[in-house]
Chains A and B, each alone.
Chain A
Amino acid sequence: MTVFIVRRLIQSILLILIMSVIVFFSIYAIGNPVDVLVPPDATQAEKDLVVKQFGLDRPIWEQYGRFLLNALKGDMGKSFRYNEPALKLIIERAPATLELAFSALLITIVVGIPLGILAGYRPNALSSKFIMAGSIFGFSVPTFWLGLMLIMVFAVILGWLPAGGRGQTVDLFGIPVSFLTLNGLKHLILPALNLAAFKSSLILRLTRAGVREAVLTDYVKYARAKGISGSRIVLVHVLKNIMIPIVTVLGLEFGRTIAFAVVTESIFAWPGMGKLIIDSIAMLDRPVIVAYLMVIVSMFIVINLVVDILYSFLDPRVRLQELRQ
């Protein structure tokens, strides 16, 4: 077990290192941040000064080396644009993104699992066919387009909900959240729904597949033969069996939701990390781009690791030995 974790950690560090090299060097290739950052009427002397200030006049290897040394000390560099630590900017934006992702996850669970069970338990019922057709729709409609339509219908035509922004926040244990105020909640609904649509369909289909397989197993057939009620069979016998893969997928999907929030945040002007990265790409704010990707990749590595370990505890059939291969 320890060997497994240590090995995974070493792999992960290597991965982060490679990522940082690729990102650092490639952003260097796109454009010169100074051309974007300085005022349009800056003189050459002013430009040269800025180049020197940010250390951009040094060879790229030296710049990278310096970045790496500082990163080891937990300093991901300062934003060219804000003159604030890149990591701080990202962490400031994290609660907004996390709130959005959690809300989407909640909707996913509440919508996806019950409908999936329904569709899986009676696969030939008309309602199930509708659910399945709906789910195909749900994962086919591009997230950004769905977002636009939500805005058009609920904000423009009906005028029920705001078109974007985060709304009023209050501090909960020192973290600003918006779901505790009516105004904040109103702002949260559309983006959360938008982000949840694809995931709900995914979880729905997964649940249905699991239920369908479980229904065919001998012990369920036996339970049915014994005359146990349908709801009891589903809730006790079937659900217990399909919960492990669903929980696993939900865990992994949570990470993906955070990464995919880039799209939803852009459409709904949600002030989260995704919005920050898109803005930073536009301004070639290299320290922020690099730091964001490092943070996200590390998060994924941690989530994957935790899921793998939990999986091995929950399901003894899966041995870590297997995972290692």
Chain B
Amino acid sequence: MAAARLRKGSLFILFILLAASFTLNAQTLRVGLATEHEALDPQFSTTGATQQASQQIFETIVKRDSNLQTKPGLALSWKMIDDLTWEIKLRKGVKFHDNSDFNADDIVFTLERIPKVSDSASSYKRNIASIRETVVVDPYTVRFILSKPSPQLPIDLSFIYVISNSIPADATTDDFNKGKTAIGTGPYKLVEWVRGDRFVVERFDSYWGVKPTFEKVIFKPILNDPSRVAALLAGDVDIIAQVPPVDIARLRKESKISVWEKASTRMMYVHMDTERDVTPFVFAKDGSTLTKNPLKDLRVRKAISLAINRDLLTEKVLFGAGEPTGQFVSEGMTGYIPDVKPDPYDLAKAKKLLAEAGYPDGFSMTIHSTNDRYLNDDQVAQAVAQFLARAGIDMKVQALPGNVFFTQATKREYSFFQLGFGNTTGDAARGLTAVLATVDKEAGMGANNRGGYTNPEVDRLIKEASVTSDEGKREELLQKAAQIAIVEDKGIIPLYFQRNLWATQKNLKYLPRTDEYTIAADVVQVR
């Protein structure tokens, strides 16, 4: 008897809950993401996932458009007064989510907190490293006094998410995560964040800019690729990020789905040990050790680049989600060389070059790659190996989890390995400095130069570019450095740029971005 009553009671509850679950209205946008942010503290971590969350609630001093070009944000304009002084004019009439006004004091507060954020593996400190002092000229004008000339300052400022000085100066990351201090000026304000489940924001009515279409946005982390696609097809979400390439063709055919795409800044490349005479994973075909390292021979490196059919690779292994390249950065970014095309596929020439270098029968080599970090990374490595096998090089493939791969690659335990570099700044300086400059810990050069490429001329050009404020001159220097290090010396062999892909229901439109962020305010209704 009691049991029966209990059952009736729970049925009733069930009914109410069911009814409640159907009241989601059309003004809600449901987003399926492939990642989840580590924190809601916009100053905690520079990872893409965390910035993607910050982008909804907060705004950066300088904004960047979908092509990563700088545009006014909270700063209306910026100009260099002299080599070491920049003046920023701030936007008036901007309100924080707690209705306090935005002004220069918030900028000072924001910059002061960044070094105080503790235990971050990827801190924003690097973005304010060149700023020695922040001077408030008037409530809507600030000046940054630099410790050394920094032509990249506007780009650095595009990473600084402005927080309100109404929150306690000692607010912790946890305070932000709980929502207490997650107060920004962005188009959306925080409703709640349940880690692993959902991140909900709602429209901020006093936003200074264009009001977003949707009243409420629910971000759901659906990390599993097939599940994310299935959720879109089932109508459980309205837009998904990072569409798995294998599904592009199928989604394009769906009449109720639209696909949005754009080349990303992530350049995938093959890195080689071009320094040591004896390298651990290159042998003669019979397995004996070679007295000299073939990868040190420019002809061999050229042959390798020519033996890789980048078009077939991107079409077959990435299902079109890659753009073949022969450069570090893509078109539109500083340092791009307009007349350099990807190396063409030319097996005969590759074989000829190998023979000229003294390896008519090839040699044997292992390619190392990650298997969990980039789009279809282990498959790409197998395909590259397949191409080189056709040129006569005996190839082995070793795909490892990123945690093992990066540790070993940094220790220089590999000879020939494939990885990627995200040009998040929108120019080639950071990448060239990290990957192709001679290793110099003191100067912060060559941090990712795991192949040991070195060329004094390239180092000189990179160094000069880092202190050159003249845009045109700087671009020229970076192009020259890239021309020598990549096109001529083949210090690395670029393969392709990953393509960013989104898919939405047909009635929605998304402005695809070069960075991987899914920005809710950029989703609009078509009808």
Direct contact of A and B (CB under 8 A): yes
A34 to B11, CA, bound (A): 52
A101 to chain B, nearest CB (A): 17
Are A46 and B21 CB-contacts (below 8 A) given A83-B44, A180-B14?
no
Chain B residues with CB below 8 A from A180, complex form: 13-14, 17
A82 to B424, CA, bound (A): 22
How big is chain A's contact interface, by range?
A: 35 or more
Q: Is the CB of A268 within 8 A of B119?
A: no
**Any A CB within 8 A of the CB of B231:** yes
Verify A92–B196 contact, CB threshold 8 A.
Answer: yes
Interfacial residues of chain B within 324-369, with CB under 8 A of chain A in the complex:
none
Q: Is the CB of B447 within 8 A of A44?
A: yes
Q: Which residues of A contact B220 (CB under 8 A)?
A: 165
Complex: how many Å from CA A33 to CA B122?
Answer: 12
A181, B17: Cβ atoms closer than 8 Å: yes
Q: Is the CB of A283 within 8 A of B38?
A: no
CB distance from A181 to the nearest CB of B (A): 5
Q: How far is the CB of B117 from chain A (nearest CB, A)?
A: 9
Minimum distance in angstroms from B297 CB to a CB of chain A: 28
State whether A271 and B441 are in contact (beta carbons under 8 Å apart), knowing that A83-B39, A283-B403, A284-B403 are contacts in the complex. no
Interface flag for A166 (CB, 8 Å): yes
Answer whether A41 and B121 are a contact pair too, CB < 8 Å, given A83-B38, A164-B222: no
Give A282 to B400 CA distance when docked, in angstroms: 11
In contact, A165 and B222 (Cβ under 8 angstroms): yes
Give the size range of B's interface with the partner.
35 or more
B197 engages A271 (CB within 8 Å): yes
Whether, in the assembled complex, A42 has its beta carbon less than 8 Å from a beta carbon of chain B, the answer is yes
**Do B196 and A163 have beta carbons less than 8 Å apart?**
no
Within 8 A of B (CB), among A265-286: 267-269, 271, 275-276, 281-284
A residues less than 8 Å from B421 (CB atoms): 40-41
Q: CB within 8 A of B403: which of A96, A162, A182, A282?
A: A282
B320 to chain A, nearest CB (A): 22
Query: 8 Å CB contacts to B: which residues of A1-46?
Result: 30-46
Q: Mark out the residues of chain B between 271 and 318 whose CB falls within 8 Å of any chain A CB in the assembled complex.
A: none
Chain B 389-431: CB-based contact to A (< 8 A → 1; otherwise 0): 0000000000001111011101000000000111010000011
Q: How far is the CB of B455 from chain A (nearest CB, A)?
A: 20
- Whether A282 touches B401, Cβ cut-off 8 Å, given contacts A81-B38, A164-B224, A181-B18, is yes
A36 and B230 contact, CB distance less than 8 A:
no
Tell me whether A155 and B230 are in contact in the complex, defined as CB-CB below 8 angstroms, given that A41-B421, A43-B447 are known contacts.
yes
Contact between A183 and B234, CB atoms less than 8 A apart: no
Question: A53 at interface (Cβ–Cβ under 8 A)?
Answer: yes
Residue B110 lies at the interface, judged by CB distance under 8 Å to chain A = no
Residues in B whose Cβ lies below 8 Å from that of A42: 122, 126, 447
A168 within 8 A of B: yes
Find chain B residues with CB under 8 A from A61 CB.
none
B236 contacts the other chain (CB 8 A): yes
Q: Is the CB of B407 within 8 A of A32?
A: yes
Which residues of chain A are near B221, meaning CB under 8 Å? 271
Q: Residues of A contacting B66 with CB < 8 Å? A: none
A62 near B: Cβ within 8 Å?
A: no
Q: Does A208 contact B (CB under 8 A)?
A: no
Is A134 positioned at the interface, with any CB of B under 8 Å from its CB?
no
- Contacting B at CB under 8 A, from A118-167, are 151, 155-156, 159, 162-166
- In the complex, what's the smallest C-beta–C-beta distance from B182 to chain A, in angstroms? 15
Assess whether A176 is in contact with B21, with CB atoms less than 8 Å apart: no
- Asked if A103 lies at the interface with its beta carbon under 8 angstroms from chain B, I say no
Contact (Cβ within 8 A) B197 A176 = yes
Write the B1-43 contact mask toward A (1 if CB under 8 angstroms, else 0).
0000000000001100110110000000000000000110000
Which chain B residues border A36 with CB–CB below 8 Å? 402-403, 406-407
Question: Contacts of A182 on B, CB cut-off 8 Å?
Answer: 18, 21
Looking across the interface, which residue of chain A has its beta carbon closest to that of B446? A44
User: Which residues of chain A are within 8 angstroms of B46 by Cβ–Cβ distance?
Assistant: 39
CB distance B173 to A93 under 8 Å? no
Dominant secondary structure at the B interface: mixed
Chain B residues contacting A181 (CB-CB under 8 Å) are 17-18, 20-21
| A156/B230 in contact, CB under 8 A | yes
The winner among A37, A41, A284 for most chain B CB atoms within 10 A is A41
Interface string of A173-188 (1 = CB under 8 A from B): 0001000111100000
A150 smallest CB distance to B (angstroms): 13
Instruction: Say if the beta carbon of B130 comes within 8 Å of chain A.
Output: no
Contact among B194, B231, B234, B404 with A31 in the assembled complex (CB-CB below 8 Å) = B404
CB neighbours (8 Å) of A198 from chain B are none
Q: Is A78 an interface residue (CB 8 A)?
A: yes
Q: Mark B448-459, 1 if CB is under 8 A from A, else 0.
A: 100000000000
- B444 within 8 Å of A by Cβ? yes
Asked whether any CB of chain A lies closer than 8 Å to the CB of B372, the reply is: yes
Q: A40-B422, A181-B17 are in contact. Are A162 and B119 (CB under 8 A)?
A: no
B residues less than 8 Å from A30 (CB atoms): 403-404, 407
A68-88 Cβ-contact flags toward B at 8 Å (1 or 0): 000000000010111110000
B401–A35 contact, CB under 8 A? no
Q: Are A92 and B448 in contact (CB-based, < 8 A)?
A: no
Contact of A53 among B119, B236, B372 (CB under 8 A): B119
- Residues of B near A92 (CB, < 8 A) are 195-196
Question: When chains A and B are docked, how far (Å) is the Cα of A83 from the Cα of B226?
Answer: 30
B223 at the interface (CB under 8 A from A): yes
Q: Tell me whether A168 and B21 are in contact (CB under 8 A).
A: yes
List of B residues within 8 angstroms of A83 by Cβ? 38-39, 44, 118-120, 173-174
Contacts of A212 in B (CB 8 A): none
Tell me whether B434 is interfacial, beta carbon within 8 Å: yes
Contact B406 A35 (CB under 8 A): yes
Assembly CA distance A275 to B227 (angstroms): 14
Decide if A50 is an interface residue (CB 8 Å cutoff): yes
Pairwise interchain contact B227-A269, C-beta atoms closer than 8 A: yes
Contact A271 B230 (CB under 8 A): no
Chain B residues whose CB sits within 8 angstroms of the CB of A169 once the complex forms: 197
B44 contacts across to A, CB distance below 8 A: 83
Instruction: Choose among B39, B122, B221, B422 the residue with the greatest number of A CB atoms under 10 Å from its CB.
Output: B122
**A43-B444, A180-B13 in contact; A162/B231 too (CB < 8 A)?**
yes
Residues B227 and A164 in contact, CB atoms below 8 Å apart:
yes
A125: shortest Cβ distance to chain B, in Å? 33
Instruction: Tell me whether A268 and B197 are in contact (CB under 8 A).
Output: no
**Does residue A170 face the partner (Cβ distance < 8 Å to B)?**
yes
- Residue of B121, B122, B404 with most partner-chain A CB within 10 A: B121
A–B Cβ pairs within 8 angstroms, 6 of them? A45-B441, A81-B38, A151-B226, A163-B230, A176-B197, A180-B14
The 10 closest A-B pairs by CB, nearest first: A164-B227, A37-B121, A269-B224, A163-B230, A31-B407, A43-B444, A271-B196, A35-B406, A44-B441, A284-B403
Q: Using A31-B406, A271-B196 as known contacts, list a sample of 7 further A-B pairs with CB atoms less than 8 Å apart, ordered by residue number in A.
A: A31-B403, A43-B126, A46-B125, A82-B39, A83-B120, A276-B196, A284-B403
Name B's A-contacting residues (CB within 8 A).
Answer: 13-14, 17-18, 20-21, 38-39, 44, 46-47, 118-123, 125-126, 173-174, 177, 194-197, 220-224, 226-227, 230-231, 234, 236, 372, 401-404, 406-408, 410, 420-422, 424, 430-431, 434, 441, 444, 447-448
Q: Which A residues fall within an 8 A CB radius of B?
A: 30-47, 49-50, 53-54, 78, 80-84, 89, 92-93, 96, 151, 155-156, 159, 162-166, 168-170, 176, 180-183, 267-269, 271, 275-276, 281-284
